[in-house]
């Protein structure tokens, strides 16, 4: 089938081929890249952003550095106060949270 399309796209003799058919493989490759690479990545980014906006006090989180802790408070809507040990509390940026551990 692809061979037939390519034969239709290539000019034979002195006649000119259809310019749309000559760009068809490039258009198809862009479509495949969009549905296999670009679209899933944007979906993952939206889900991660939604998870970060829904963080609240008491959530058990893991940061990009691998620090496990519990959110003790939220400061300036972008900085989290995370309790990691008995008397250890860290200020962590909201963007550094990778996962929320469920109970």
User: Residue 4 pLDDT > 70, yes or no?
Assistant: no
Cα–Cα dist 88/97, whole Å: 18
Quote the Cα angle for 99-46-43, to 5°: 105
Query: DSSP string spanning 25-83?
Result: HHHHHHHHHIIIIIHHHHHHHHHHHHHHHT--TT-EEEETT--EEEEEEEETTTEEEEE
The pLDDT of residue 19 is 78
What does the pLDDT average to over 20-42?
Answer: 90
How do residues 36-85 score in pLDDT, each as one tens digit?
Answer: 999 999 999 999 999 999 999 999 999 999 999 999 999 988 999 999 98
């Amino acid at each position: 089938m692809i061979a037939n399309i390519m034969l239709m796209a290539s000019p034979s003799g002195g006649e000119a081929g259809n310019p749309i058919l000559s760009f068809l493989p490039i258009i198809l490759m862009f479509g495949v890249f969009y549905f296999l690479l670009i679209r899933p990545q944007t979906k993952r980014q939206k889900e991660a952003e939604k998870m970060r906006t829904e963080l609240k006090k008491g959530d058990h989180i893991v940061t990009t550095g691998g620090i496990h802790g519990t959110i003790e408070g939220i400061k300036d809507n972008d900085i989290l106060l995370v309790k990691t040990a008995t008397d250890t509390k860290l200020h962590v940026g909201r963007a550094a949270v990778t996962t929320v551990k469920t109970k």
